[in-house]
Copies of this chain bind each other. A is one copy, B any other.
Amino acid sequence: MSIEVNNIHRIKPIASYIVVKVLEETKTTSRGILLPNSKESPQKGEIISVGPGKKSESGQLKEIDLKQGQVVVFGEYAGTLIAQDESSKYLLIKEEDVYGTYE
């Protein structure tokens, strides 16, 4: 399945899912040092939409502490590809995949 990039806003994530637009960054630092790839190298992306949060077994809601527009750092292998064109790529990731925000 794939969704048109310009239809991405029609996806409303549920539970602790988050739609992010991937902000590509070359894997070498500005002074040309290629990151040793033995360690996982995280991704950066902008939040397009967030789910309502996850319900515990007893039905209690744990909201997501992230908002639309924030830039987040998340796992290299995280998420599901839902839309892509020449210039942009969108993923569905989970809140648990996020390490931090980039301000």
Q: How large is the interface on A (under 10, 10 to 19, 20 to 34, 35 or more residues)?
A: 35 or more
> Which A residues between 16 and 72 are near B, CB-CB below 8 angstroms?
17, 19, 23-31, 33, 35-36, 39-44, 51-52, 55-63, 65-66
Query: What residues on B are CB-neighbors of A76 within 8 Å?
Result: 1
Q: Smallest Cβ distance from A47 to chain B, in angstroms?
A: 12
Kindly report how many copies of this chain are found in the complex they form together: 7
Are A42 and B102 closer than 8 Å at their CB atoms? no
Q: Which 4 A-B pairs have the closest CB atoms?
A: A56-B57, A39-B81, A13-B100, A1-B25
Query: What residues on B are CB-neighbors of A29 within 8 Å?
Result: 2, 4-5, 83-85
Query: What residues on B are CB-neighbors of A51 within 8 Å?
Result: 100
